[in-house]
Chain A
Amino acid sequence: MSYFEFLAQYGDRIISGTLVTIVLTVLASLLAMAIALAAGLMRMAPNLLVRSVATVYIEIFRGTSLLVQLYWIFFVLPLFGITLEKFTAGFVAVGMNLGAYGAELVRGAILSVPRGQWEAALALNMSPAKRMWRVILPQALIIMLPSWGNLLIELLKGTALVALIAVADLMFQVKQINGTTFLSAESFGTALIIYYILARFMLTPFMRWLERVMQRRLGRA
């Protein structure tokens, strides 16, 4: 069949898979950002125990592969009493994995905020929490945005692995289609193109727009 016929017949499944991929990406991103913020801040805490917990988490999730983590969370966690439904296991694994990388970005960005900012906040008698929230983090945010853009693309690509635990995302759908039709070029090729469009023509411009918005809000445009 021609490519158009292929799209006509399987288009709805591909679109449904794409929507699942997008939802997974959004959920995993939110989780990753929350974890990155927490772990990044924990890495800089004065308390040794707090620091160590964060460090151990980061080293484990950065030192092993996402696929291994995904399988572990889905197949092994139930033995510890934590049974996650596969969709949840999917975005949790991706979120925790990229949250570890994100933690380093957060830490690096916070450290890049000029020393004078900390001192000025102190001179105004701000509490540490207020100082972090009102002064440091907003400035750190701008610094980290470009690197977060790259991280989110990695996150989008990471969601493809959930197909291996049978979550019905884009990857899963085209794998099924290939399984029945053997039209590998059309099925996998279409998926590649869709991921490409999502990453390069939607995610990246969105991040650039976000950067511009933030810069304006911080009076630096």
Chain B
Amino acid sequence: MSNEGMSGFPLAIDGGNKPMVSFKKVTKSYGSLTVLDSLDLDVAEGEMVTIIGPSGSGKTTVLRMLMTLETINGGVIYVDGQPLTHMPDGGRLVPANNRHLRQVRSKIGMCFQHFNLFPHMTALENCMEGPVHVLGLPKKEAQERSEELLKLVGMADKRNQHPSRLSGGQQQRVAIARALAMRPKVMLFDEVTSALDPEVIGEVTNVIRKLVAEYNLTMLMVTHQMGFARDISDRVCFFYGGKICEQGTPDELFGNPQQERTKQFLSAVKEAV
């Protein structure tokens, strides 16, 4: 992690309107390849932001860095006013240690393209794992919470099945319930329908629609499902070459793209459908 330029960054972000997630001048590179280039991105509380763009544009990296699956090479990421990747130490920001990471990270949940359910546990056990062993909830309470969430995603009747017995769409729904069981403030969806057969994509997108409608969760989503993104997002960001090329409301970005690159991308995607 880079320590340079830490002086320009606040130790915390306060105020009633503080963003739930804030990327400040965030850079990520693999060797000589720069994947994210001094990114500034704020996501307000309860906002649903979709990130679209060609592969290699850095969109998945944004989510993975927020979930601390990747390290950061420059800049600071803040979650709920607190720095995530760094921590305050004697009036300065220094790279965060494990304890700090775990503490701030607890506010974020993530769903993956390949579900990543624990194969040796049933759907219910998958959902209970976090609450019992990380949040320290008593088993009974964790079970109630998990069963409620499985009901929400429509998987209550399959709660005692192992993932190997579930279809892709079913597994992804369980994965969503599992992430929600931790009561995160921010939910990340990393191409959650890309590995699904077309006919089950609807199951998953409907669950996400429900979440948007009924909960005030802050969400960041990377997807190729443009229609879906247009329907439910508050804001859409088009990434290109590690930077935000253009962003706006769905109507603005899809209906009236300003940048040349955005137009090219959107028309290419339309042709593919």
Direct A–B contact in the complex, CB atoms closer than 8 angstroms: no
